[in-house]
Amino acid sequence: MPIGYLVPVLLVACCTSASLSPARRPPRLGRVAFRMSVLVNEQPFTLLVALGAVTAWALADGDLGSTGGRVALALAALTAVGLVLVARRGLLAAPALDHALADGLRAGPGTVTNRGLPWARILLAPFAVRRRDVERLGDVPYGADTGGRVGGVAGGTAGARGREHRLDVYRPRSRPADGPTLVYFHGGGYVSGRKELEARAMLSRLASRGWVCVSANYGLRPTTNFPGHLVDAKRVLAWVREHGAAYGADPHRVVVAGSSAGAHLASLAALTPGDPQFQPGFEDADTSVVGAVCLYGYFGEYYGSGRDQGVESAPSAYLRPAAPPFLVVHGDQDTLVPVEGARQFVADLRGVSTSPVVYAELPGAQHGFDLFHSVRFDAVVTAVEEFAERVVAARGRTPEVPVERREER
């Protein structure tokens, strides 16, 4: 039995199976399915190459002549077919996003498809999420204890100190003035996560198109509870209003975005502009946004202990006709945050808001599809760019794209 060949084949086979048909119940199995499938689901091409490489190695070593070797080879062949199916589902993201944009924004046919995907990055450098034409200013402090005038203490937040109250700024190296701004909040269930992990490919790409992107940490449990997380998010938005121009941002054209728990936070921030209960000490700060982007978001009640029970924590509690435009993107095979929650939130929002609500449900997508370049996520980034450009255009200028970037599009 060629153990050295069978083990990697079996590992890829199990992960591919978890990607194609993930277990949803009980929740513990759903978490296992997510961890097993997160790489395969977004990088089937890489796994296909790896599978071919170990098979060629085993063939060269003469390990496939035995009965065990032939069984392992048959398993590898079945796994390769499964990876092709995973890849095909990834290709369905662009049509799904095209349909959503056409339905929600009356965008032209093939909006995402016609812009094309960065295939060289997807196939050859999927983990290279930084761009040479973008500079990142890391660990910029925000809040009352960092020299700014934006402050306040709430929900267990002990002031703006330490790593939790830092943000990164992504901007074009050419440093044009008055670029529209996207503020992003990471996921992690309010207990983990950091600003340098998710959606970096999106932040870098938008920055290369003339945007100023801000990715912020915020207080996590157990040191912070709700509404402290939201207060921190508001501090970030207020910081952008006060200091964004110094970094090349137009502080009056801000889109807020987030993934998972960060989408919960982004949606709450978008729906509660200027609400004094979430802006203690900076009640007069303008925290309004022109749009919101929610990726595989959680939209239910805050589930942590220690929250202020007298304050509503579900985004649906703050729906209003004047809500800004929303783009909600969710995978139909998300085992950590089931898609039904996103569907219900979108239905509730559409029933109240007079602004566009764009909803895209991605075939075969799991949680955490924004960690690196992939067919699916780069299609999502294109849709986010289209959505964001349209909502900021309603406020005036659109981002000035360098000549070479216009040709690329």
Residues acting as catalytic residues:
260, 334, 367
Integer Cα distance of 378 and 384 in angstroms:
10
Q: DSSP character for 315?
A: G
Angle between helices 27-42 and 3-20 (to 10 degrees): 110
> Contact, 382 vs 97, CB < 8 A?
yes
Q: DSSP character for 64?
A: T
Distances in Å between the Cα of 165 and the Cα atoms of 139, 201, 236, 304 are: 9, 22, 9, 20
Q: Which residues contact 393 (CB under 8 A, 6 or more apart)?
A: none
Distances in Å between the Cα of 376 and the Cα atoms of 128, 167, 303, 406 are: 16, 27, 30, 22
Q: Specify the 3-state DSSP secondary structure of 35.
A: helix
> Contact, 392 vs 398, CB < 8 A?
yes
Integer Cα distance of 288 and 184 in angstroms:
15
What b/e sequence results for 115-152 when a residue is b if at least 16 CB atoms lie within 10 Å of its CB, and e otherwise?
Answer: bebbeebbeeebeebebeebebeeeeebbbebebebbb
CA angle 365, 369, 370 (to 5 degrees): 155
CA angle 299, 39, 344 (to 5 degrees): 20
